[in-house]
Structure 1
Amino acid sequence: MSPSGFITRYRQLRTPRASVVPYHPSSCVGALKDVRPAMRGGEISMSRIRFAQWGVQHGHASGKALALRANPATELVGVFEADDEVRARAKADPAYSDIHWYAHPDEFLGDASIPAVAVEGRNTESLEMARHSVSARKHVWWDKPAGDDWAGFKWIAEQAEAHELLLQMGYMYRYHDGFNLISHLAREGALGDVFSVRAHMSTNIPVTAWPSNNTREAISSHLGGMLFDLGGHMLDQVLWVMRDERPARVTSFLRNDTTPEVPAFSDNTLGVFEFGKAFATVDIAAMEPSPMARRFEGYGTHGSVTMEPFEPADSLRLVLTRAWGSYSPGIQHVPLAGLGRQRLYELEVEGLIPVLRGEQRADRPLTHEVVVQETLLRGTGHLRS
């Protein structure tokens, strides 16, 4: 398929940061196919898949590095971090002990023995990292969110499709047994017709805490604030439950209720996503006391499911009006593995390996990555619904 069918109608919509562009309901997503990466020239027949990591300033960076180094089928060859001070601190992190530090990204972008790049930069820089990586024909494992330039993201997705590259966002809850069970129950009909999904993923972060990027001040550079920063995690799940149906309408409430020091920051956020026969809500705030009551709920005409907290999660509550598989009518509490965050990162890596080797399709097709990013930017105000 020519990539022009995916992008051409949107060329004029290149979106500078903190601006709003008109939103057109015609779906660019529908033109994409479910991509199975083709391994060019047997480059990933190697016993260990070689990765480079670009950036260390994302909140998940060290955990992803540890996951790549722990798996016997992957090799983290080296890391590039442009900021001298940040790099000096990272060298003291056990995640990067005895690792090679690149002097310039061209060292790995031009290395044919390295087929994949883990993008772990700040949210303000990761889109450019991904763009250069895809331009160099590298597979990309890209930590969330995928920037705030919709046209730039579409170009990256177009290139990934055209050159049969894997573009996988680092939404680790895809490998969470509780979320997987919820989506399975919803998609396979156990809950009947799903009419409501509710997601709550608040946090508690400081106003400023140099040199951390996980602060209200740092996140304020993005429209949508907390919804931009964490909303992709929940939309990744919501849209999967909804079979990647694009919301017909998105309404958001982006408030600053407790952070007068940073007027541009949205610290109390809610997105309402209307589908053909359902709606979903995603609410995220910056000031919930710990431990946070992170929660995910699904409601259908034949049952409901509630997981609270979802990190870590040791059980979920399932209510059914009828028997389904091994589950009985009525209320039941289904045990879960209680996986920690680092284990989820490791499962991400385990999921990447057979895809990069061409042995199976990606856990989420490229169409899904696109609709998640589009919906996030609609919710944060970067795209007008």
Structure 2
Amino acid sequence: MSPSGFITRYRQLRTPRASVVPYHPSSCVGALKDVRPAMRGGEISMSRIRFAQWGVQHGHASGKALALRANPATELVGVFEADDEVRARAKADPAYSDIHWYAHPDEFLGDASIPAVAVEGRNTESLEMARHSVSARKHVWWDKPAGDDWAGFKWIAEQAEAHELLLQMGYMYRYHDGFNLISHLAREGALGDVFSVRAHMSTNIPVTAWPSNNTREAISSHLGGMLFDLGGHMLDQVLWVMRDERPARVTSFLRNDTTPEVPAFSDNTLGVFEFGKAFATVDIAAMEPSPMARRFEVYGTHGSVTMEPFEPADSLRLVLTRAWGSYSPGIQHVPLAGLGRQRLYELEVEGLIPVLRGEQRADRPLTHEVVVQETLLRGTGHLRS
């Protein structure tokens, strides 16, 4: 396999020791053509965009299926799940009522009327699903994280770029009004120079609970444990706030503090990401009592913004040293919509539709998906930092 120009340019951004190269997608990815994927003269012009779903074992799978079925501009044509027992249980889920079940993925991979695949398999199998989908020239909506094989992910990204395919990770907080406001304030300069970002996204999951994959035992198959499982959500936001600057150095603390039954599992994790003039911390644990105090904070030289909890979020705290737009100096609490998780999935689908039709750019460029995945794997220890 010969590397594409995109990945070659991305790897050239790596610099020796601790020096930092700002990461600007617009300057380093000419081949992305403004990130308008695979429309080729209105190829996807049907009134309803046809999707297939591959897998039902991801924790977001049924919610994504419901979102695809609820939108009048999309059609979930069918679902494939290889595991007989899992498929039998899924058939009783209202999300899949009266749905067609494929006998083999070739049925939709070879169907030219289906331009897109929603990858909803376990984290141990989703990368292969995405690889086959891109090989079949399908756009891919891929639920997080993007596996733990960096070379495999790079190949998928290269193929997506070469064939003008949309590769969008299922990080639903991209459509959260609070996170969008925070990134807007940070990127547009309202907060001054950002010097610190702090993200806390803990959960409470059992050691084992068959047949769920959302357990400490199941996640222990991945180096990094909880940081691998949920860290991508926060890094997606951190790196967007930081304009996709590649961290100069990553230091992680991956501990097992409360799960002696699964010694290989990291249940208490912290990643420290050092940028040229800022640092970010992402901490995620498996044993925080519910309701979790999930929190996101950004600090700059002219202000700060804090959102807690961020799911659901009804307001955020904004502090400014100077007026900016409609916001006054001092402390203010900005109201938010309090969107639920299912609504975020629906907004993901709404965001996909105009991109697949070639009407607008992707909400995140392919370079962003790549720097998020690389940074995650650096944090979990899959890649040397």
TM-score, structure 1 as length reference = 0.94
Deviation at 1:254, TM superposition (A): 0.2
Distance 2:328 2:105 in 1: 55
8 A Cα contact 1:65 1:76, kept in partner: yes
Residues 12 and 314 of structure 1, relative CA distance in 2, 3 Å threshold:
closer
Deviation at 1:6, TM superposition (A): 3.6
Distance 1:77 1:195 in 2: 47
Residues 165 and 16 of structure 1, relative CA distance in 2, 3 Å threshold:
farther
Tell me the residue number matched to 1:332.
Answer: 332
Deviation at 1:311, TM superposition (A): 0.1
Q: How big is each residue's C-alpha offset from its partner over 1:329-363, in whole Å with a ceiling of 9 and x where there is no partner?
A: 00000000000000000000000000000000000
8 A Cα contact 2:271 2:281, kept in partner: yes
8 A Cα contact 1:302 1:320, kept in partner: yes
Distance 2:63 2:18 in 1: 30
Residues 341 and 127 of structure 1, relative CA distance in 2, 3 Å threshold:
same
Distance 1:213 1:15 in 2: 38
The aligned length equals: 385
The more displaced of 247-256 and 14-23 is 14-23
Distance 2:84 2:215 in 1: 21
8 A Cα contact 1:17 1:148, kept in partner: no
8 A Cα contact 1:21 1:382, kept in partner: no
Q: How big is each residue's C-alpha offset from its partner over 1:204-253, in whole Å with a ceiling of 9 and x where there is no partner?
A: 00000000000000000000000000000000000000000000000000
Deviation at 1:31, TM superposition (A): 8.2
Q: How big is each residue's C-alpha offset from its partner over 1:183-215, in whole Å with a ceiling of 9 and x where there is no partner?
A: 000000000000000000000000000000000
Residues 24 and 217 of structure 1, relative CA distance in 2, 3 Å threshold:
farther
8 A Cα contact 1:294 1:308, kept in partner: yes
Q: How big is each residue's C-alpha offset from its partner over 1:237-289, in whole Å with a ceiling of 9 and x where there is no partner?
A: 00000000000000000000000000000000000000000000000000000
Deviation at 1:175, TM superposition (A): 0.1
Residues 183 and 363 of structure 1, relative CA distance in 2, 3 Å threshold:
same
Distance 1:45 1:354 in 2: 10
Residues 14 and 70 of structure 1, relative CA distance in 2, 3 Å threshold:
farther
Deviation at 1:38, TM superposition (A): 2.9
Residues 213 and 62 of structure 1, relative CA distance in 2, 3 Å threshold:
same
8 A Cα contact 1:204 1:289, kept in partner: yes
Tell me the residue number matched to 2:92.
Answer: 92
Residues 358 and 64 of structure 1, relative CA distance in 2, 3 Å threshold:
same
Distance 1:20 1:83 in 2: 46
Unaligned segments of structure 2, at least 5 residues: none
Residues 242 and 24 of structure 1, relative CA distance in 2, 3 Å threshold:
closer
Distance 1:19 1:242 in 2: 16
Tell me the residue number matched to 2:129.
Answer: 129
8 A Cα contact 1:29 1:371, kept in partner: no
Distance 2:76 2:23 in 1: 40
Deviation at 1:16, TM superposition (A): 25
The more displaced of 35-44 and 228-237 is 35-44
Unaligned segments of structure 1, at least 5 residues: none
Tell me the residue number matched to 2:9.
Answer: 9
Distance 1:111 1:35 in 2: 25
Residues 303 and 18 of structure 1, relative CA distance in 2, 3 Å threshold:
closer
Distance 2:170 2:266 in 1: 23
Distance 2:249 2:101 in 1: 46
Distance 1:58 1:13 in 2: 33
SS in 2 for 1:276: coil
8 A Cα contact 2:24 2:244, kept in partner: no
8 A Cα contact 2:117 2:140, kept in partner: yes
Identity of aligned residues (%): 100
8 A Cα contact 2:20 2:246, kept in partner: no
Residues 215 and 29 of structure 1, relative CA distance in 2, 3 Å threshold:
farther
8 A Cα contact 1:202 1:292, kept in partner: yes
Deviation at 1:36, TM superposition (A): 1.0
The more displaced of 104-113 and 18-27 is 18-27
Residues 212 and 30 of structure 1, relative CA distance in 2, 3 Å threshold:
farther
Residues 57 and 39 of structure 1, relative CA distance in 2, 3 Å threshold:
same
Distance 1:382 1:15 in 2: 19
Q: How big is each residue's C-alpha offset from its partner over 1:31-69, in whole Å with a ceiling of 9 and x where there is no partner?
A: 866421131464310000000000000000000000000
Residues 316 and 211 of structure 1, relative CA distance in 2, 3 Å threshold:
same
8 A Cα contact 1:11 1:151, kept in partner: no
Residues 269 and 194 of structure 1, relative CA distance in 2, 3 Å threshold:
same
Residues 252 and 27 of structure 1, relative CA distance in 2, 3 Å threshold:
farther
Distance 1:363 1:82 in 2: 32
Distance 1:84 1:68 in 2: 23
Q: How big is each residue's C-alpha offset from its partner over 1:5-35, in whole Å with a ceiling of 9 and x where there is no partner?
A: 3446999999999999999999998986642
8 A Cα contact 2:21 2:246, kept in partner: no
